[in-house]
Structure 1
Amino acid sequence: MAQPCMIATCRRVSQTLCYGCQQNFCRDHIIEHDLSLNSQLNPLSDEINALGERLKSVNLENAIGNSRKKLEQWRIDCHKTIDDFFEQKCHELDRCIRKKMEKQREEIRRIRIKMSDLIREQEATHKDIDLLTITVRDLEHEINKIEQILFQIEIKSLVLDDNLIYIENLDINHFDLISLSSIYKTINYPRENWTPLTCNNQYLLIHQEPNLCLVDQNLNIIKQNSWIYGTIYDMCWSSTLNRFIVINGSDVFFIDENFISIENIQTLQKCKWLSCTTSETSLFLSTKVWGSSIMEFSLLPTIKLIKQWQSPDTCTRDEVINGIVYNNDTLAMMIKNPSEKTIHIEIRSSITLDRIWSLKLNIAYSQNIRTRCCLLPNDQWLVVDRNTSRIFHITKDGKVKSSSAYNPPPFCAVLFDHNMLAISTARGVNIHKL
């Protein structure tokens, strides 16, 4: 039996079935239906063309610029490591030949003294002459050997592991507090310890009293060194100097990655330092006073004060800066205001200290507890509040994306390696996989 046209107002019998939508149409309405479908192609075509133009306008330099900078810094660091190793081996080679030459110089000095004594006393015997002649011939033989010396140097090719650099396409929403994984691993403190932590490309630096410890991704202690310089207020890493920087109440210390030395930087003025961070060229330090100052020091060729900001440019006179973190020509600043009993995070230009944005956080004020922040991927931030036992995810434009309770109360956090978040508490350091 013939089906009616699916258009409700049409009384004609259908003559065609549209296989796309499985509906029956009369001859006139199938033409209209076909035209209607075709008319939808034009907007889609326009949209595709617009997307094509949008793709053409994507600035690759902006998209990969920060990642390229990291790769470039890695290349510079590796070249420096190779240069340092080369210099070490050159000095080793020099020492080998110098040691032999010094031995013969000492022998020449001894012979000269002996001959001077014989000449002065005019009592040389045939035996003395024979002994001196033999000694001179032996010396000549040794010098001949030095002149003809050859070193066998076995050099192995430098083998690069492709896993040295891990490249992952991170979604801007990749980090999400709501889906933060459970604790992957923990390293416990022997006793309660409210100290900061930091990291470089390979290791975490933590204070496990009485030692400073370098810890790998599996929380194995790789190296440790005794810390006898009092309370640690902050620490950071300088890829330019290839050094960790640690500050106590008044001093700034440089610690090389091999933990060979802990150097007190005497050229820096004594201040009540509270926080530190570095860029590629500068060290930034903030002071532990109301109306905190921020000082910028050059890293190379010497540590030298180049700029200083004071209240009210930094904060009001009744505020204190709890922490500073550098990122892409900006400084994140955690600021506490006791008068208003508020805590807020601000992003400032690291060049002019102009405010880019400011966000007041819904955090209960505490006089003696510091609220800290750390950098997340894509210029986002994680604020860690020990007082309320909460962590806050802040977007790059200064909005609270989410917050979550964290127990035991967190003190400090740092993004470690490319996919791990380290959070310190009074009991130890927890690692979460992202």
Structure 2
Amino acid sequence: MPQPCSIKDCTRTPRWVCDCCQQNLCLQHLNEHNDLLISQLNPLTLEIKALEDCLQALNIQKTIDNSREKLEEWRDDCYKKIDCLFEQKCRELDQVINEKVDQQREELNRIHLKITELIDAQETSRQDIDLLTSTIRQLEININNIEQICFTIVTSPLVIDDTFIFIKETTEHELDLSTLSPVYETIHRPKGSSGPLTCNDRYLLIHQHPNLCLYDREMNIVKQTLWRYVNNTQNIINTDQHENTAHG
């Protein structure tokens, strides 16, 4: 004889195993369980609607603007570096021309002074006249040639690598590492070495016991010298760290 429905006091014949309770139920109780499951969809629908409203109300523009601000700072910094290099090369170009002009001006002044001295002395010779005339003609050629100077400007394309900018999601309480540069190279520090001293866009100056070392951007040692002031260096670093802590 088959077992009755699993619901207490129900004597009906079971029809199927209920998905939610894994019991053998009759048709009536299967329908009741099904209705119960369906009734639970309505609250879920309300939750979905609430989440849709919440999503709609999100101030994503603020999040985007905060991140874009960092990208714009990076872009502005790159523009400044390009402008700085451009201005430097313009000054070098100006210097080349100005040096040539100054050189001819000095020669003109020298010849002018020589002629003035001869006039004041009221004494000269054919050799003086010929030499002065020849020098003046050469100066004329040199001055005219200055305007004809052509420069070959050799430039390299600015290669922008996508890895220059790395976008990583951070949680609210997680340290924002986007303000820090990614690890570029690891340098072995001998025991007794002091902390980093200083750096700029091109070089890093650190103490590698017993030497003071200057590294380039590829982490190659450009120059090093024996450093005899380790204690003084450590005192300076400790003092600086203490002041930073006191003012922080």
Same fold (TM over 0.5): yes
2:243 corresponds to 1:275: yes
Q: 1:32 to 1:72 in 2, by over 3 A?
A: same
Structure 1 position 159, deviation (Å): 1.5
Q: 1:173 to 1:27 in 2, by over 3 A?
A: same
Matching residue of 2:190: 189
Q: 1:215 to 1:155 in 2, by over 3 A?
A: closer
- Which one-letter code corresponds to 1:60 in the other structure? I
Matching residue of 1:85: 85
Q: 1:69 to 1:42 in 2, by over 3 A?
A: same
Specify the SS of the correspondent of 2:242: strand
Distance 1:142 1:202 in 2: 40
Residues 329-408 of structure 1 aligned to structure 2 (within 5 Å) = none
Matching residue of 1:164: 164
Matching residue of 1:38: 38
- Which one-letter code corresponds to 1:274 in the other structure? H
Specify the SS of the correspondent of 2:243: strand
- Which one-letter code corresponds to 1:49 in the other structure? K
Q: Which of these two proteins has the greater Rg computed from alpha carbons? A: 2
Distance 1:215 1:85 in 2: 18
Matching residue of 2:7: 7
Q: 1:124 to 1:63 in 2, by over 3 A?
A: same
Structure 1 unaligned blocks of 5 or more? 176-184, 235-246, 253-272, 277-284, 287-293, 295-323, 325-434
Contact kept, 8 Å, 1:215 with 1:223, in 2: the verdict is yes
Matching residue of 1:111: 111
Distance 1:199 1:117 in 2: 57
- Which one-letter code corresponds to 1:77 in the other structure? D
Distance 2:117 2:138 in 1: 21
- Which one-letter code corresponds to 2:143 in the other structure? I
Matching residue of 1:70: 70
Structure 1 position 174, deviation (Å): 7.0
Q: 1:132 to 1:214 in 2, by over 3 A?
A: closer
Contact kept, 8 Å, 1:196 with 1:232, in 2: the verdict is no
Matching residue of 2:49: 49
Distance 1:129 1:120 in 2: 15
Distance 1:3 1:201 in 2: 84
Distance 1:89 1:201 in 2: 18
Distance 2:109 2:203 in 1: 52
Over 6 Å off, 4+ runs: 196-205, 224-227
Contact kept, 8 Å, 1:14 with 1:26, in 2: the verdict is yes
Residues 265-304 of structure 1 aligned to structure 2 (within 5 Å) = 274-276=242-244, 286=246, 294=247
Contact kept, 8 Å, 2:205 with 2:212, in 1: the verdict is no
Q: 1:158 to 1:16 in 2, by over 3 A?
A: same
Q: CA RMSD in A?
A: 3.8
Q: Name whichever structure is richer in strand by fraction.
A: 1
Give deviations 1:171-206, integer Å, cap 9, x for gaps. Answer: 56878xxxxxxxxx672334275x578999999875
Distance 1:89 1:67 in 2: 34
Q: 1:202 to 1:27 in 2, by over 3 A?
A: farther
Aligned length: 234
Q: Name whichever structure is richer in helix by fraction.
A: 2
- Which one-letter code corresponds to 2:115 in the other structure? M
Matching residue of 2:150: 150
Q: 1:149 to 1:200 in 2, by over 3 A?
A: closer
- Which one-letter code corresponds to 1:115 in the other structure? I
Structure 1 position 63, deviation (Å): 3.6
Give deviations 1:259-302, integer Å, cap 9, x for gaps. Answer: xxxxxxxxxxxxxx8233xxxxxxxx73xxxxxxx3xxxxxxxx
Q: 1:45 to 1:90 in 2, by over 3 A?
A: same
State the percentage of identical aligned residues. 44
Matching residue of 1:263: none
Q: 1:25 to 1:62 in 2, by over 3 A?
A: same
Contact kept, 8 Å, 1:196 with 1:233, in 2: the verdict is no
